[in-house]
């Protein structure tokens, strides 16, 4: 049985005043903790695939450093453009005000977030809009489609699986949306359920897909045993 271990990158700097394609200090700690956890359990991988974003590479670098310190081998990684994250949520965030003028659901979500006085309200508002986007109900300029993104990730997963010899373990470093799309493809989930997975994935969490007799099976979802302190559990 072959196994693909999908890792979401550590926390990026979107809500810490920085560049979203840059790990925050906490994100660096999360990625380093994951690397130490994997190396400490002598987790060996036949192949390593990394998405094209800087935050993917930085998460990979932290794991490489942990393996080097433990004197364990890790294969040279391959960058796959098809493991890129969708820009849908970020494009939505940048166009919140514009979308609120056009869509009552967005306006209501923003109003609820503003009246609550809780920063998490804005996250819930973004989640509301992401669901509308995934259903194809938003048509803002420059907004990619969720279904096109899902198709790209499904193709990448199918290609990786087709090349997997029996028993191989593969490390895949990417983003939450990409991981959710891959898991949804493996489980044959609809778009709403796929978005549920995306919104639940924690930073530096890992999920596994097992390949048995050419069938894809969910092995685990959203695991963070390397982050025992709940203060290190983040969604964005």
Per-residue pLDDT reduced to its tens digit, 117-176? 566 666 777 777 788 888 888 766 677 788 889 999 999 999 888 888 888 999 999 999
In the beta sheet, which residues pair with residue 12?
Answer: 23
Tens digits of residue pLDDT in 72-96:
999 999 999 999 988 777 777 677 6
Dump pLDDT digits (tens) for 167-193: 899 999 999 999 999 999 999 999 889
- Spell out the domains of the chain, with CATH numbers in brackets: 2-86+166-232 (3.40.50.1240), 88-134 (no CATH)
User: E strands of 143-234, at which residues?
Assistant: 169-174, 206-212, 215-223
The alpha carbon torsion through 78, 145, 58, 7 (nearest 10 deg) reads -80
Cross-strand bridge partners of residue 171: 5, 48
Task: Check: CB of residue 84 under 8 Å from CB of residue 181.
Answer: no
Angle, vertex CA 59, rays to CA 158 and CA 79, nearest 5: 40
User: What is the model's pTM?
Assistant: 0.88
pLDDT reported for residue 140: 65
- CA–CA–CA angle 79, 162, 84 (5° rounding): 30
Mean pLDDT, residues 96-102:
74
Tens of pLDDT, residue by residue over 23-47, are: 999 999 999 999 999 999 999 999 9
**Bridge partners of residue 209, in order along the sequence:** 4, 218
10 Å Cβ neighbour count for 227? 20
């Amino acid at each position: 049985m072959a196994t693909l271990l999908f890792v979401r990158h550590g926390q990026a700097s979107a809500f810490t005043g920085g560049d979203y394609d840059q790990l925050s200090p906490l994100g660096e700690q999360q990625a380093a903790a994951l690397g130490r956890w994997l190396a400490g359990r002598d987790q060996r991988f036949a192949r390593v695939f990394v998405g094209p974003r800087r935050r993917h590479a930085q998460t990979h670098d932290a794991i490489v450093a942990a393996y080097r310190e433990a004197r364990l081998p890790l294969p040279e990684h391959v960058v796959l453009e098809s493991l890129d994250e969708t820009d849908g949520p970020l494009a939505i965030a940048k166009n919140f005000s514009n979308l609120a003028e056009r869509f009552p659901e967005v306006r209501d979500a923003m109003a609820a977030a503003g009246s609550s006085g809780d920063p998490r309200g804005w996250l819930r508002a973004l989640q509301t809009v992401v669901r509308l986007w995934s259903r194809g109900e938003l048509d803002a300029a420059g907004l990619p489609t969720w279904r096109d993104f899902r198709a790209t990730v499904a193709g990448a997963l199918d290609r990786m699986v087709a090349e997997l010899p029996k028993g191989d373990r593969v490390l895949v470093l990417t983003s939450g949306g990409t991981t959710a799309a891959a898991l949804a493809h493996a489980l044959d989930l609809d778009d709403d359920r796929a978005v549920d997975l995306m919104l639940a994935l924690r930073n530096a969490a890992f999920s596994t897909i097992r390949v048995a007799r050419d069938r894809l099976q969910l092995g685990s979802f959203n695991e963070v045993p390397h982050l025992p302190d709940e203060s290190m559990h983040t969604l964005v």
